Amino acid sequence: MKYYEKNKVKALPVRDAVGKVLLHDITRIVPDLFKGPLFRKGHIITEADVDALLDIGKEHIYVAGLKNEVHENEAALRIAKAALGPNIDISAPREGKVGFSSRTHGLLKINVEGLTQLNSVQDVIFASLHTNRSVEDGQEIAGTRVVPLTVPEKQVGDAEKVCKDYFPIIEVKPFAALDVGMVVTGSEVFHERIRDKFGPVVEKKFNDLGSRIMDRRVVPDDLGMTVSAIRDLIADGAQMIAVTGGMSVDPDDLTPAAIRAAGGKIITYGAPVLPGAMFMLAYINDIPVIGLPGCVMYHRASIFDLVVPRVLAGETVEKKDIIMMGHGGFCSNCKDCRYPDCSFGK
């Protein structure tokens, strides 16, 4: 009976492996039809299995590991548990891989520096979706595994230490369900010369994120009336204010001045995002106030989709966060929009 070492495990010729227990899943692939386990880890090989194994090119079977080695399934599971933050489920190991899925509708957060350090550990692989994107309940968001069938205990320990130092590597922050006060600006809307098409778009966006428009005030292009509308909505219990329109540099566009006059501490007026350059973010005490340019009404993905989910996830968005949005902040205006499964905001 002849053994040889490969990838730090011992392998046995298939014909000599009858009666042995598989240490890993054996995958069978039929192009365009099937990919899955032919035999699972723990299966006892029989005479009848030999030809099936040879048919898929398996001439040797792993039958034993070396001392101080960790099997791929156990290694992946340990790394997954060490990296795991709140509101995420992990799968049982399968063919050496552990998957991550969101337990809630919320904002995916990846510790990018920590992820880089984790992938710098020899033979460790951890792949995720981009940070700061909205994810759905049950959505797959990441996966981890090790490259060989077994890895030294020290490498798993090194990976676990990285996860501890940068914990959590991955988490999902659930969206808060806020009562949002909306101020629709524009004399043409106030005097009912045209129908408001901006408000319904914004309302749907908030609804999709789990929040609701508690009240809507329509005001003309008047500084005092806009200020009063903002203050009245806050007095009525609004937890966030969205002001639509009036965000450009035209003389009649008074929204930025109104937000300031209402007591807003301005975080930014302007963002390196297209569409969304004329966006404003401010806070009145701890209540976020957003000034939304007209592009939010016309584009499926815009500055709204990059900033508002972070606010609803409980984050305090700062000027530097807006500045960093320039990298990836250009929308390609694809004919068939696939946001967030695209480069916008990444």
Domain ranges for the chain, please list them: 4-65, 69-174, 179-326
Average pLDDT over residues 72-97: 94
Q: What does pTM read for this prediction?
A: 0.83
pLDDT tens, 168-189? 999 999 999 999 999 999 889 8
Q: Beta-carbon neighbour count of residue 122 at 10 Å?
A: 13
- Work out the percent of the chain whose per-residue pLDDT is above 90: 72
Confidence of residue 6 (pLDDT cuts 50, 70, 90): very low
Does pLDDT of 60 surpass 90?
no
Domain covering 69-174: architecture = Alpha-Beta Complex (3.90)
Exposed / middle / buried, residue 16 (Cβ in 10 Å: 0-12, 13-18, 19+) = middle
| Residue 302 one-letter amino acid | S
The helix (run of H) or strand (run of E) holding residue 281 is strand 280-284
The whole-chain average pLDDT of the chain stands at 91
Does pLDDT of 250 surpass 70?
no
Q: Is 102 helix (H, G, I), strand (E, B) or coil?
A: strand
Confidence of residue 252 (pLDDT cuts 50, 70, 90): low
276: left (phi over 0), alpha (psi -120 to 50) or beta: left
- Say which CATH superfamily domain 4-65 falls into: Molybdopterin biosynthesis moea protein, domain 2 (3.90.105.10)
Q: Report which of 109, 134, 112 is spatially closest to residue 305, judged by C-alpha positions.
A: 134
pLDDT at 56: 86
The helix (run of H) or strand (run of E) holding residue 198 is helix 198-208
pLDDT tens, 103-129? 999 999 999 999 999 999 999 999 999
Residue 168 vs residue 17, higher pLDDT: 168
Does pLDDT of 3 surpass 50?
no
pLDDT at 67: 66
pLDDT at 7: 47
pLDDT at 214: 98
Does pLDDT of 24 surpass 70?
yes
Fold of 179-326: Molybdenum Cofactor Biosythetic Enzyme; Chain A (3.40.980)
